[in-house]
């Protein structure tokens, strides 16, 4: 978790808390799995993997007449593809989670570093579904306002919207 201290419009790293692992073995295993999933997902997304999968299917189809298109022949491809898909789901999900976290951290840093942005959107991914829906509606309204103004240089923020709301409430 990062805490920032904003001084003179610049963001300075204030404190870093590192999550402690229960054992070095788990940390090592996690690191090895992360490295494996990086390599695996990169390889699985390559053209060679697609070509390899097509070649396996073609070989399976060619062997069909040799095995009389039997139930066992069909079971081989069904079982193989099911096992591969099952394992790939978890490996690719781990990579997706890591990439998503990295993107969120980069966006949080950009928000925190810009003195003109609202820090309320830092860690927005932790909001509830209802809270996200409220923000989505706000930005839809903001987009409609900008379209009406026909001024691409006009800016609006959450703070400005709150000020307008409070004025209307009076």
pLDDT digits (tens, 9 = 90+) for 69-81: 999 999 999 999 9
Q: What does the alpha-carbon distance between residue 129 and residue 59 come to, in Å, rounded to a whole number? A: 47
Residue 150 has pLDDT above 60, yes or no: yes
Q: What is the pLDDT of residue 168?
A: 64
pLDDT digits (tens, 9 = 90+) for 18-29: 444 455 666 788
Say what the pTM is.
0.58
Percentage with pLDDT > 70 across the chain: 74
**Hey, how many other C-beta atoms are within 10 angstroms of the C-beta on 87?**
11
Q: What is the pLDDT of residue 145?
A: 74
State the pLDDT confidence band at 118, using cuts at 50, 70 and 90: confident
């Amino acid at each position: 978790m990062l805490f920032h201290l904003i001084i003179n419009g610049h963001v300075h790293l204030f404190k870093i808390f590192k999550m402690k692992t229960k054992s070095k073995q788990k940390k090592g295993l996690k690191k090895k799995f992360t490295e494996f999933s990086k390599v695996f997902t990169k390889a699985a997304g390559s053209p060679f993997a697609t070509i390899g999968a097509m070649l396996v299917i073609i070989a399976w189809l060619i062997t069909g007449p040799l095995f009389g298109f039997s139930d066992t022949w069909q079971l081989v491809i069904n079982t193989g593809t099911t096992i591969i898909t099952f394992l790939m789901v978890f490996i690719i999900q781990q990579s997706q989670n890591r990439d998503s976290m990295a993107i969120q951290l980069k966006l949080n840093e950009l928000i925190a570093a810009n003195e003109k942005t609202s820090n309320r959107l830092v860690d927005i991914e932790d909001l509830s579904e209802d809270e996200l829906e409220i923000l989505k509606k706000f930005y839809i309204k903001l987009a409609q306002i900008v379209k009406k103004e026909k001024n691409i240089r006009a800016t609006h923020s959450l703070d400005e919207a709150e000020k307008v709301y409070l004025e209307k409430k009076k």
